[in-house]
Structures are given as C-alpha cells and as structure tokens.
C-alpha cells in the first residue's frame, strides 16, 4: 500500500523519539513492501520560533489531508513564561480540535521483565492490562477561559463544559472497546461535586442500557487515582473526560515501568483515503527538557504509537503486531533505556534501543 504520513517531531526529545520511530517505519515498509511517504512539519515551540504561532497553517493543512499523523512532543522551558502570549501546547490542542480527534486511546500493559522498573510491588502488578479512553476535544481544555484584572486583583478561569452528545459518543466508543476485551468499564467522574460530571454519569448510564453485557463501575476521580495503585489489575477499560484522563494516564503509565513506554492514538470520525479513521499518534510523555538533546530518551512510546497508527489508520494489523512483538523481544533481551534500568544497571541510548528493536523486525 501507499500512505501519506505527516510527521510532527515538535520539541525536545520529540525529535529524537520520532527519528527512532521513522527508522522502524522504514524497516516495516521494506519488509512488507509498502510505500510510506513521510513529510515533516513544525508544531509547538519550534513553530513559535519560526512563525510566531504554535500551529502554522501549512502544518494544519498537511495534517487534514494526511492518512495519519505521527507526533513527538511539544513544549519546553524556553516557551514556559506564564505571561507569554502563545504556548507550544496550544498547537497540540488546536490540531486535535481541527482534526476532530475526540477519542484518545491510551493502552497500559506491563512487560513481565519490567516489573522491577515500576514503583509498585510485583503482586499488585500481576495482570495489569488496561485501556484508558480520554475525551480529547472538550471539557476543561476547551471551555471558556481567560485572565483579567479586577479590583486590583488578577483573575484566571477555565470552564469544564460537556454536552450530552459529546459524552455519549465517547461512552459508546468505550463500551464498544470493553466489549472487545474483558467487558468491564470504569467511568471516571466527580459527580459528587460538579454539575457537568452529574451529566456525565447520567449520560453514561443511559448508554449502558445498550450494553447489558458490559459491567459498568462509576468511580470518583480521586478514588480512581487510589484504586490505580491498590488494585490496578481490576481495571479493564476506563473512560474519562479530558482533564481527568490526562491526570490518570500519567499515573497509570507508571504501572508499565515508565511513562516513556506508553503510546496513544487519537481518533475521530474523519476517514482517510483508505477508508480508515484519520488519526494522530503520539507517546503520552512530554518533551522532557531535562534530557533533551542527549540522545538517551526511551523511544518505545513513539514506536508503539507507530504500531497503533499502522493498525488503526492503515489497517495493517500484521505490521503493527510485528512492531509490538519486536519491542517485547528487545525488552526480553534485557535492553533498557535509562528510565527503565534498575539502579546501577547498564542502560542504552535511544539509537541502541531502536537498533535492538530493529533486529527483531
Ligand atoms: C498529554 C499532554 C498534553 C495534554 C499537553 C502537552 C498539552 O500532557 O497529551 O497528555 O495535556 O493533553
Ligand atoms: Mg498529559
């Protein structure tokens, strides 16, 4: 097959991990006889430096007409001034919105050999295999917000807002995903305090009527963060709004040993030239300014995001599985980037980890 993939390395380690994923893409293309045409565009801080905006028009246009988009990370201390008029993160939010990517899928699995890398005790980790589905184009991230001065005091606000329709479509997607797995869905909310979350709980309950085979558990977000540590293996699919989903996936990522391992797929309704959902794929980690430029970042989250891209946006299941197996094998071989290495153990750099994965493709 031929596919057009837009590549957005972004800032910091985004550039390093995307380079790694592109080496894997090339190997897959060669092995399975596909033509993957990739084109790089600017987003985030580097786009602010070059064009004064975090999402230049040409990047937006390229993404909208691509079969799929692969992204590294955005942001960094250079653009962190709280009074700056533009921020790198705005580029990411704007492209998610422009592409209509309302569903962010974040699978969390633990490779058995990485049990030591996780801060949790091994007996707690046995059987961890969950999928967090985060609503991505609504909620607190996209409600009315602003900063102003009144009565000699500075003010700031953001609004958490959802329509029943927005809740319904993400809930349906989550119930469908649960149906294909262990048939359990935990809906994360704060219905004891927030009006918008009472609408969330009510709407999820309505959707649940069409899924009598799926067991629904409503969990308050504060309790959910606790249960993720005390009984992580009890969760199958979790569905949450934008803000809560952002928070619980950073926590959940540590169940896999490191946040650097976790991929994500953002999907919407728009279909690409192959009749598959157009999507944006990115690791859940950020630009990691503390290690950027040193070539030691863990590329696994981005390489696994590439596997999700091949599966969801191109329908290339064999190729996706080949990548996932290669990552598993590299980890079974004992290869570890610094974030995964136990104290005092030898670690490899980004290139070496990528090479260790490539030998299995
Ligand atoms: C994520 C990130 C982003 C988010 C930031 C970089 C805007 O934390 O994808 O989880 O908050 O959505
Ligand atoms: Mg986040």
Mean pLDDT of 220-248: 97
Same domain, 265 and 245: no
Same domain, 278 and 300: yes
Residue at 114 is within a domain: no
Query: So what's the pLDDT on residue 345?
Result: 85
Same domain, 215 and 268: no
Residue at 113 is within a domain: no
Residue 60, pLDDT > 90, answer: yes
Residue at 112 is within a domain: no
Residue 178, pLDDT > 90, answer: yes
Residue at 178 is within a domain: yes
Domain end point (choices 207, 231, 256): 256
Residue of 89, 91, 93, 243 best suited for mutating to test ligand 1, as the one with most atoms within 8 Å of CB: 89
Same domain, 289 and 344: yes
Catalytic residue among 37, 49, 222, 333: 222
Atom of ligand 1 nearest to the CA of 136: 12
Q: What is the mean pLDDT of the chain?
A: 97
Query: So what's the pLDDT on residue 343?
Result: 78
Same domain, 138 and 202: yes
pLDDT band at 360 (very low <50, low <70, confident <90, very high): very high
Query: So what's the pLDDT on residue 20?
Result: 98
Q: Which residue's CA is the closest to the ligand 1 atom numbered 12?
A: 246
Query: So what's the pLDDT on residue 54?
Result: 98
Residue of 246, 247, 250, 305 best suited for mutating to test ligand 1, as the one with most atoms within 8 Å of CB: 246
Residue at 186 is within a domain: yes
> Which are the contacts of 4, defined by CB distance < 8 A and separation ≥ 6?
37, 39, 65, 66, 67, 273
Query: So what's the pLDDT on residue 344?
Result: 78
> Based on the number of CB atoms within 10 Å of its own CB, is 209 exposed (0-12), middle (13-18) or buried (19 or more)?
exposed
pLDDT band at 116 (very low <50, low <70, confident <90, very high): confident
Query: So what's the pLDDT on residue 118?
Result: 87
Residue at 111 is within a domain: no
SS3 label, residue 32: helix
Same domain, 252 and 263: no
Ligand located closest to 282 CA:
1
What is the model's pTM? 0.95
Rounded to the nearest whole angstrom, what is the distance from the C-alpha of residue 13 to the centroid of ligand 1? 15
Q: How many domains does the chain have?
A: 2
Residue of 14, 88, 132, 286 best suited for mutating to test ligand 1, as the one with most atoms within 8 Å of CB: 286
Residue 117, pLDDT > 90, answer: no
Query: So what's the pLDDT on residue 342?
Result: 81
Residue at 351 is within a domain: yes
| Separation of alpha carbons 284 and 72, rounded Å | 9
Domain that holds residue 245: 119-256
| Separation of alpha carbons 335 and 303, rounded Å | 15
Tokens 């290339």 belong to which residue?
316
Rounded to the nearest whole angstrom, what is the distance from the C-alpha of residue 317 to the centroid of ligand 2? 27
Rounded to the nearest whole angstrom, what is the distance from the C-alpha of residue 165 to the centroid of ligand 2? 24
Same domain, 225 and 249: yes
Ligand 1 contacts CB of residue 286 (under 6 A): yes
Ligand located closest to 73 CA:
1
Mean pLDDT of 51-73: 98
Tokens 């990691």 belong to which residue?
288
What percent of the chain lies above the pLDDT cut of 90?
Answer: 96
Same domain, 200 and 245: yes
Active site residue 250: yes
Same domain, 60 and 137: no
Residue at 190 is within a domain: yes
Query: So what's the pLDDT on residue 327?
Result: 98
pLDDT digits (tens, 9 = 90+) for 332-354: 999 999 999 987 789 999 999 99
Domain end point (choices 218, 240, 256): 256
Rounded to the nearest whole angstrom, what is the distance from the C-alpha of residue 187 to the centroid of ligand 1? 20
CATH number at residue 320: 3.40.718.10
Domain end point (choices 209, 232, 256): 256
Same domain, 141 and 188: yes
Ligand 1 contacts CB of residue 255 (under 6 A): no
pLDDT digits (tens, 9 = 90+) for 133-145: 999 999 999 999 9
Same domain, 216 and 137: yes
Same domain, 188 and 252: yes
> Which are the contacts of 221, defined by CB distance < 8 A and separation ≥ 6?
188, 189, 190, 240, 244, 247, 248
């Amino acid at each position: 097959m031929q596919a057009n993939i837009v590549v957005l390395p972004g800032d910091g380690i985004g550039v390093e991990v995307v380079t790694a994923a592109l080496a894997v893409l090339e190997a897959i293309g060669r092995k399975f006889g596909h033509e993957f045409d990739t084109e790089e565009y600017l987003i985030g801080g580097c786009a602010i430096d070059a064009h004064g905006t975090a999402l230049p028009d040409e990047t937006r246009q390229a993404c909208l007409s691509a079969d799929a988009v692969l992204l590294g990370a955005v942001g960094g201390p250079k653009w962190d001034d709280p009074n700056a008029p533009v921020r790198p993160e705005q580029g990411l939010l704007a492209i998610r919105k422009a592409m209509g990517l309302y569903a962010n899928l974040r699978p969390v699995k633990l490779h058995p050999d990485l049990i030591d890398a996780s801060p949790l005790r091994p007996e707690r980790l046995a059987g961890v295999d969950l999928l967090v589905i985060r609503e991505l184009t609504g909620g607190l991230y996209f409600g009315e917000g602003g900063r102003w001065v009144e009565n000699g005091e500075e003010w700031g606000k953001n609004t958490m807002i959802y329509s029943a329709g927005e809740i319904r479509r993400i809930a349906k997607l989550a119930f469908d995903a649960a149906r294909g797995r262990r048939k359990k869905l935990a809906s994360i909310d704060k219905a004891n305090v927030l009006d918008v979350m009472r609408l969330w709980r009510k709407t999820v309950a309505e959707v649940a009527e069409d899924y009598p085979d799926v067991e629904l558990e409503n969990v308050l977000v504060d309790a959910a963060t606790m249960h993720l540590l005390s009984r992580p293996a009890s969760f199958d699919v979790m569905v949450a709004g934008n803000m809560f989903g952002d928070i619980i996936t950073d926590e959940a990522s540590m169940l896999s040993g490191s946040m650097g391992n976790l991929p994500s797929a953002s999907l919407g309704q728009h279909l690409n030239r192959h009749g598959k959902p157009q999507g944006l794929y990115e690791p859940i980690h950020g630009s990691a300014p503390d290690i950027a430029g040193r070539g030691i970042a863990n590329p696994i989250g981005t390489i696994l995001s590439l596997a999700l891209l091949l599966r969801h946006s191109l329908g290339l299941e064999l190729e996706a599985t080949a990548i996932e197996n290669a990552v598993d094998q590299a980890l079974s071989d004992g290869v570890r980037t610094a974030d995964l290495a136990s104290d005092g153990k030898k670690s490899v750099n980004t290139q070496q980890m990528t090479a260790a994965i490539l030998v299995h493709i």
